[in-house]
């Protein structure tokens, strides 16, 4: 598999992970806020679980955290794939003509 294909797959996976993290953030912030928390009934011990789209707040938090970690790992891979770019970025930022920067 070529580096370009690996980069495309990593970028697509990053996009999916980012969208999931963003959507779960919106759900947790606006629909299942932590303020007040869930309460546990004193006599039965049954928790009042906050639910959105059939998924409890705890499951939303787990989804948010796991996809956030996946995004961080993919971002590290993405950065490693672009090491040559970071090596040459100084030349691209300096004034003057640089054929390598113009071709990218």
Structure confidence by residue, pLDDT tens digits, 63-99: 999 999 999 999 999 999 999 888 888 877 777 665 5
Q: Give yes or no for residue 48 having a pLDDT over 60.
A: no
Q: Give yes or no for residue 15 having a pLDDT over 90.
A: yes
Task: Select the highest-mean-pLDDT range: 3-7, 10-14, 91-95.
Answer: 10-14
Supply the pLDDT for residue 50. 80
- CA-to-CA separations, 85 to 18, 62, 89, 94, in angstroms, rounded: 23, 35, 6, 14
Between CA 40 and CA 48 the distance in angstroms is 6
Report the percent of the chain where pLDDT is more than 70: 77
Between CA 92 and CA 85 the distance in angstroms is 9
Q: Give yes or no for residue 58 having a pLDDT over 60.
A: yes
CA atoms within 13 A on the CB side of 87: 6
Element (DSSP H or E) covering residue 52: strand 51-52
Supply the pLDDT for residue 47. 56
Between CA 101 and CA 88 the distance in angstroms is 8
pTM value? 0.75
Average pLDDT over residues 12-41: 85
Helices (H), 1-104: 3-26, 57-81, 83-93, 99-103
């Amino acid at each position: 598999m070529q580096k370009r294909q690996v980069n495309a797959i990593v970028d697509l996976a990053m996009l999916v992970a980012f969208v999931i993290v963003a959507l779960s953030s919106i759900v947790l912030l606006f629909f299942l806020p932590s303020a007040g928390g869930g309460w546990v009934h004193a006599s039965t011990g049954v928790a009042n679980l906050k639910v959105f789209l059939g998924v409890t707040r705890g499951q939303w938090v787990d989804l948010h955290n796991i996809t956030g970690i996946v995004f961080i790992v993919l971002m590290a891979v993405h950065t490693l794939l672009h090491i040559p770019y970071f090596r040459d970025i100084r030349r691209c930022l300096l004034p003057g003509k640089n054929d390598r920067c113009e071709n990218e």
